[in-house]
Each structure stands twice: as structure tokens, then as C-alpha cells.
Structure 1
Amino acid sequence: MHDVNYHHHHELNQHEFLGCCKDCRRSLEIIKPHIMAFARKIKEYDDAALRALHPDDLYRLFLILDDLAHMDAGEHLAGLILDEPEIKETLPMIRGYYDTFFSIHEVHLAEKLLQTSAPWATLKSFPLYPRYEALVKNQIELNKLKRGSRLAFIGCGPVPSSIILLNHLAGIRAVGLDISRDSVALSRQVVRRLGLEKEIEIVHGDETLLTEMDWDTILVAAMAMPKKRIFGNLRRIMQEKGKTDARVFYRTYTGMRAILHAPVTDDEIEGFTIVGRFFPMGRVNNTVVVAKLEE
């Protein structure tokens, strides 16, 4: 039996580990055992074991990693920690777990929304809802999105929280795209359950479908992959459609949050120029970046 109440979760003291610490090596020595212990813990769980967990246990396991991602480390110290050879070797496994957690978590949420008699209340009571809301508010603030404009969301997943909240908070109409037929089927049901089917369309396919669609702005999900192909296609489509002034939002991971997922690189967004960044506050994981085509 797996014990998700992992004791290191309680031993990691935020005050021991300061972003402006003069002795970065000492800070590395403090944080490294916690990362390595989590890596050993997660090694016990294959995909089937994670999917077999009760949602509450799955979430508790996620919070252990989440605490590591939200240590108050500056960019230099975070880079030192994540480049340490033993830690670096564990990152693919840790990041793979993070991706798997979210794929399972979103299906759990979709199923709850489809079963409840109060879908909006259920959505807002979900533990990660405040993060989604804060992330979307950051995005609205960053680019002053106009009510009634149309946004294309690449990699919307089974619960397209971003476009649900963009519509709810700012009146943004949207089309969500996903390459998973199962995700698309669930997403369509969730949108209908929330009464947003006139505002949000869900389509099966990748970013190449944007050639045939009407949109003003593009949002690329943090887990939509591979980024290099996506941005290469977006560059071509934007040029062909004459939308060279359109903005592309994407989400990436900075500082210690990069333990969760590999950051988007300059090579992956070749042909685009970054025109704005909004770094996460509190428990939000994603940095929101705005890019436009290079002139």
C-alpha cells in the first residue's frame, strides 16, 4: 500500500531556505534531500497506481511536489538547484508525474461537473480553482483582452478552465482544440453543463485547424506539445491569414516552478518576439508570456 502522507512534506521549513541567501550551496544542501526523497517516493507509482488513488490522496501527493515548486528561491538559486547533476537526472520522472497528475485530476473534475446539480459551485469549490482564476486574471490584465473577441486555445484538455474563466470574467468567446478525442468529448459535455455552448466551441485537432477558423488571439496551453512544431505552424498560419499583429499567449515555468515542467525555450518560439511577461504570485505555477511575430 502506498503512503501518500509522506513525512518530508512537514519537515521542509520555508524559513531555512531563502531566495537571497548568501550561501547558495548551503541552500542546495537543504533542499536537495527533499527533492530526492520525493523522486524516490514517486518512483513507487506507475501510471496505473496513480489512477487507482482516491482523488484526495492524489491531491495530497501533488501538494508535496507543489511545496517544493513554491520555495522562495531566486532565479540564480533555482537554476543552481535544478542543474545539480543528481536532481537534474530525476527531473524527467518528476515532470512526467506532474503531467500525469494533471491529466488524471482534470478527468476527475470533469466527471464531478457532469454529475453535480450545481456545476458552477462545484467548479469554484475545487482546490485548484483559485489558481486558475488568478492565472486568467493575470492574462486579462497583461493584454487588456476585449469583451466579445475570439480566442483560440491550443491544448484545452477535458476541462477547458482557461476559456471557461476568460468567458466568465471577461466575456471572451473561444474555440478550444485538443488532439485527444476523449478530452474533446469530456470538454464538450463540461461546456454544455456550464451553459456555455454558445460562447465556447470545442474541436478535435491540432493548431493547423486555425487556418480554417476565425480568431483574434491564441493561447497555447503549458502542456501542449511539441512547442517547436506548434509555434512553427502558428508562424506560418498567422502570415498566411494576414494576422501578423495578433498576439500569442503561452504559459511556461520559471524559477523553482521549473521542477514541474521544462520551460519553453527561445528555440521553440523561433520567429516570435516576447512583448510581455507576467510572473506568478502565490500558488500560481505558470508564468504568462505574450509574443508576437518578429518584424
Structure 2
Amino acid sequence: MHDVNFHHQHELDQYGFLGCCKDCRRSLEIIKPHIMAFAERIKQYDDEALRAMSPDDLYRLFLLLDDLAHMDAGEHLAALILDEPDIRGVLPVIRDYYNTFFSIHEVHLAERLFAPGNPWETFKSFPLYPRYEALMKNQMEANGIKAGTRMAFIGCGPVPSSLIILNHLAGIRSVGLDISENAVDLSQRVIRCFGLEDQIEIVQGDETLLANLDWDVVLVAAMADPKARIFQNLRRILQEKGRRDSLVVFRTYTGMRAILHVPVSPAETEGFRIVNTFLPMGRVNNTIVVAKLDD
């Protein structure tokens, strides 16, 4: 499958695709077949087939999509591509695969961390670790979080990578929330592997639990849904607690990276105002947005 990925990238390169160029229509014609081909390919794999793949094969398949998401296309060209009728029609298939990949990938990672050995060495050996670390460094820059801050993370998943790395980089204490009982069980075991039980708490439930938890800053995972309900509840909790200046940080997808997941819309964050936006660099997927309650 590695050869397929190389060939895929080589085909894009041979056209001299340079991102947002003067002939956006021509660029769309070059890129569209690759997106449609990936959509057709991924339709061959149902959830069971994806879970049966080895971690290496699963990751190589992911890289085919990752190359498309990280093309150097400007905002105009990216919007043109993702709004093309045929491409728009296959986006749900592609985005569903992206969500499934990460749910499987995190379970694989958790299982590796449970094995004997140094969990940090295992964690850092995973191909996506550099992205996690870069994302959290961006996160720290985005809202200036420092030691002593307690972060609440909505949608922490089976491996709360963000919370583990934040604690490693800056001693940030945190509480992770997830509605999945299985994800919470795995996440709690992962925390014990790292010996961070006194630094990171994992609880089962949705964002409404924040009304009774201790936290300073809220982080909303890119895949935590439904966003409209989450932000509605956050708005209510912040108002009831009289915490109008508390930061709510959320992750979204912009440019070509929006091929991976539906971006957070202004309608979903109604009642909040955007304080700052940090665009991703390199192979990081998420744009980081800092918000506060609207005045």
C-alpha cells in the first residue's frame, strides 16, 4: 500500500500543482479524480474490515486521505473543490471513514500502551505523536495556559493524548469527559499506565457534568458532537456560574482539511464571540479557535 501512496502523491506532483494558482478550475480538474478515487476505495471497507486491518495497513490507508487534506490549496480553491457537486456527494463517506480511523487507531494505541515497557517510549513511537505534540504547543500558545490551570476536555476519547501531553509540557491538571463507557474505561487505564491519576481525572458523561466539576478552561474536541448542543449547554453553565470571561477553546477544520470533518459553523457557536484563531501548520489537522461568551 506504500507504493500506492507514493504513486498517488507523484501523480499530483507531475501536474505541477502548486496550491492556490491562477487557474483554479484546472486545479479542480486535477484534484477531483483523486478525491473520487479515494471515496470509491474506502467504500470497499466496512467497519468490520477496517478493524480487522493491521495498525500499519490502517495507517497507510489513512495517509492516502491525509495527502489530500494537506495539499497547499488556498481558501478559495479549497472551497471550490469541496463545494463541487460530485465531491460534496462523497464527503459524508470520507468523513465517516476519518472518524472510524481515529476510533480504531486510538484503541490500537491504548493496547500498545498497556503492554510491558515504558509508556512514553511507546507513545512517542506512534506515527501521529509529533502531530499531537505540535497541536498541544499551538493550544498552549492559543490561550496562554500555564501550570496550575485545570482544563476540562469534552470528548477525550480512549487515549486522552492532549491531556497527557499538556501535563508533560506544562504540568496542566485536567478532567476528561467522554460519553462512551468503553472509551472512559480505556482512558482511565491509559492514565494509570502513565502514573497520572493525581493529575488527570476521566469521567463518563457529556458537557452538562461541567456544572459540578472543577475547571478553568474548556476544550472541545474536534469530533465531539453535536456541537450546537455542546455550546448551548456551555453557554448556560458559564452564565449560571457567572464566568463570562472563561475561555472555551474548540478545534475545527479549515481549508482542504475540511475534507476530513464538517467544520464548526457560526450557528453552532451562537452566543460566543471568537477571540482568536490559530491555523494549523505542517501535518496538524485542527484549527484552534478561542472563544468567550458574547457580551
TM class by shorter-chain length? Answer: over 0.9
Name the CA distance, whole Å, in 2 between partners of 1:87 and 1:14: 22
Aligned to 1:53: 53
Is residue 216 of structure 1 aligned with residue 216 of structure 2? yes
Query: Equivalent residues in 2 for 1:13-28 (5 A)?
Result: 13=13, 16-28=16-28
Is residue 167 of structure 1 aligned with residue 167 of structure 2? yes
Deviation at 1:12, TM superposition (A): 2.5
Query: Equivalent residues in 2 for 1:37-52 (5 A)?
Result: 37-52=37-52
Aligned to 2:83: 83
Q: Deviations over 1:115-155 (max 9, x none)?
A: 13110111011100000000000010111102111000000
Aligned to 1:176: 176
Name the CA distance, whole Å, in 1 between partners of 2:61 and 2:2: 6
Deviation at 1:205, TM superposition (A): 0.3
Q: Deviations over 1:7-49 (max 9, x none)?
A: 5354221872222310000000000010000011001000001
Normalization by structure 2: what TM-score?
0.97
| Number of corresponding residues | 293
Aligned to 2:268: 268
* Percent of residue pairs identical: 72
Name the CA distance, whole Å, in 2 between partners of 1:66 and 1:15: 19
Extract unaligned runs of 5+ from structure 1: none
Extract unaligned runs of 5+ from structure 2: none
Name the CA distance, whole Å, in 2 between partners of 1:5 and 1:103: 26
Which is further off, 7-16 or 199-208? 7-16
Name the CA distance, whole Å, in 2 between partners of 1:116 and 1:82: 45
Name the CA distance, whole Å, in 1 between partners of 2:3 and 2:18: 26
Aligned to 1:68: 68
Is residue 237 of structure 1 aligned with residue 237 of structure 2? yes
Is residue 277 of structure 1 aligned with residue 271 of structure 2? no
3-state SS of 2:225 partner:
coil
3-state SS of 1:13 partner:
helix
Name the CA distance, whole Å, in 1 between partners of 2:161 and 2:146: 19
Name the CA distance, whole Å, in 2 between partners of 1:56 and 1:159: 18
3-state SS of 1:202 partner:
strand
Contact 1:14/1:71 (CA < 8 Å) preserved in 2? Answer: no
Aligned to 1:139: 139
Is residue 291 of structure 1 aligned with residue 266 of structure 2? no
Aligned to 1:128: 128
Name the CA distance, whole Å, in 2 between partners of 1:15 and 1:192: 50
Aligned to 1:155: 155
Name the CA distance, whole Å, in 1 between partners of 2:217 and 2:121: 29
Name the CA distance, whole Å, in 2 between partners of 1:79 and 1:142: 25
Q: Deviations over 1:144-186 (max 9, x none)?
A: 1021110000000000001111111011100000000000000
3-state SS of 2:215 partner:
coil
Q: Deviations over 1:32-68 (max 9, x none)?
A: 0100000110010000010000000000000000000
Aligned to 2:105: 105
Q: CA RMSD in A?
A: 1.2
Aligned to 2:31: 31
Name the CA distance, whole Å, in 2 between partners of 1:254 and 1:19: 15
Q: Deviations over 1:214-233 (max 9, x none)?
A: 11000000000000000000
Contact 2:20/2:76 (CA < 8 Å) preserved in 1? Answer: no
Name the CA distance, whole Å, in 2 between partners of 1:62 and 1:116: 28
3-state SS of 1:201 partner:
strand
